[in-house]
Structure 1
Amino acid sequence: MKYDWILFDADETLFHFDAFKGMQLMFARKGVDFSEQDFEHYQSVNKPLWVDYQNGTINAEQLKQIRFQAWAEKLGTTTQELNQVFLAAMAEICAPLAGAKELVSALTGKVRLGIITNGFTELQQVRLERTGFAEHFELVTISEQVGVAKPDSQIFAHAYEKMGKPPKHRVLMVGDNPHSDILGGLNFGVETCWLNVTEQPKVEGIEPHYTVNSLHQLQQILFA
């Protein structure tokens, strides 16, 4: 094996993140029929917030507050309560991405495995337990706990310290987001693999060491 450590992003790298399905479930429990139009409107608020979060202009708590503000007012509840219900719904419907279980099982015992995610602590821990992944990953670094998000080098440095500072060329970062995962990894000096399932166009100035369209393809490369 070329690597001592393989680090994975969580959402859309190890786990499928179907936010619309999760929100339909959470709002159904509140007696609301949540439509695709409602979801589009929510995403028009939510997506820029994640960019702000990754850029360090807002923190995790602010993101969680602002994204559900309008719905909290509408339903006469708090943003904290809506966040809890949403994360619980997302944990309930969580499913590993195609090939994730096979890849993680194949790598276990041959390389050390870690996760670096910009997601929220509450959701990540439940999903790792429910999918049986928890025992395979000896490192789980969550931006909400560290206080900075990918692509900030500080979150990579935090994980790197916990890993015992292995040679950087023997560390591979795998993720679906070219900015937070790939650029973040490259700037920190580790090797990178872009999981480009939807075949997005290449981002100018970001050159991953590998680009794959599935975790099966990554498995073939790693075991070649």
Structure 2
Amino acid sequence: MAYYNCLLLDVDGTLLDFEAAEHKAFMETMEHFELPAASETLEVYLEINRGLWAALEKGQLKRDKLVVQRFAQLLEALGKQGNAAEMNRWYLDQLGAHADLIPGALEAVAELAEVATLAVVSNGVERVQLSRLRDSGLDRYMDGVFVSERVGTEKPGRRIFETALRQLGIESRGKVLVVGDSLTADIQGGQNAGLATCWCNFKAVEDAPQPAPTHVIRTWQELYRIVMEPDELENLGSKNRKHQFEQLERTEQ
């Protein structure tokens, strides 16, 4: 049996390349509203957006305010007039159309789904995440999708993780692994919920991560040895392993 039989997976920067999707969606939005579609404009937006998301994670800002404020502040910084709410709606539509996969993510998820329960736990906008998960092909491997917009609580709060575990029917918390790229949302969030964590250091950051995760990976393939026992590693590529293990468990009971 797997060392971890339930993986709670982040989406942006973990399964999907959010930076690539964000860049495309932002430039398309600027062009549509006849605003400067330039790298300098993107940098201004990113700085504004990072600050607002940091406030969200600290519980200082609500999501419905964030998504409008980021464009309101951008318009102010550019000295332009416009409808921030309309801009945000357009931007989210474009963002949902870009499902750029992190290298190796789809193949790894397909393998891991053979030995563990997989679920998404995301702070993203629900309609955007559902669209991108579907278009990327990741959705077929998920036993659940828990987006903060619907759950009503954000990472790093523990309640979103507890909601996921309860609805998935997972009782053994020691066999659960939170996997994500954000130290503040995913790693701190997993720790807040009393769960083991795996930091996706796909950008090869050399500084010691704080808070310190249980595990660190630089590629998706490195997760196999963290999750799978030796006999499962020997059977990489085999299908229906999860079903076989569940059947064995029932027989032994």
Would the aligned equivalents of 1:56 and 1:148 in 2 still touch at CA under 8 Å? no
Would the aligned equivalents of 2:44 and 2:74 in 1 still touch at CA under 8 Å? no
TM-score of the aligned structures, taking structure 1 as reference length: 0.92
1:109 to 96, 111, 114: 114
Runs (5+) with no aligned partner, structure 2:
231-253
For 1:35, the aligned partner's letter is: A
1:58 to 49, 58, 61: 61
Q: Does 1:134 align with 2:139?
A: yes
Would the aligned equivalents of 2:153 and 2:160 in 1 still touch at CA under 8 Å? yes
2:35 to 32, 52, 58: 32
Matched-pair identity in %? 29
Q: Does 1:99 align with 2:100?
A: no
RMSD after superposition: 1.7
Q: How far apart, in 2, do the equivalents of 1:154 and 1:93 lie?
A: 29
For 1:76, the aligned partner's letter is: G
What pairs with 1:1-224 in structure 2 (closer than 5 Å)?
A: 1-18=2-19, 19-71=22-74, 74-77=80-83, 79-200=84-205, 201-204=207-210, 206-223=211-228, 224=230
For 2:209, the aligned partner's letter is: V
Query: Displacement of 1:72 after TM fit?
Result: 5.8
Would the aligned equivalents of 1:4 and 1:166 in 2 still touch at CA under 8 Å? no
Query: Displacement of 1:94 after TM fit?
Result: 2.0
Would the aligned equivalents of 1:16 and 1:95 in 2 still touch at CA under 8 Å? yes
SS class of match (2:114)? coil
Change (3 A) 1:66 1:222: same
Equivalent residue number for residue 246 of structure 2: none
Change (3 A) 1:82 1:183: same
Q: How far apart, in 2, do the equivalents of 1:188 and 1:34 lie?
A: 41
Query: Displacement of 1:49 after TM fit?
Result: 0.5
Runs (5+) with no aligned partner, structure 1:
none
Q: How far apart, in 1, do the equivalents of 2:196 and 2:120 lie?
A: 15
- CA deviation digits over 1:48-67, x for unaligned, max 9? 11011111111110111110
Change (3 A) 1:191 1:161: same
SS class of match (2:146)? strand
For 2:147, the aligned partner's letter is: I
SS class of match (1:156)? helix
Q: How far apart, in 2, do the equivalents of 1:218 and 1:111 lie?
A: 12
Larger radius of gyration: 2
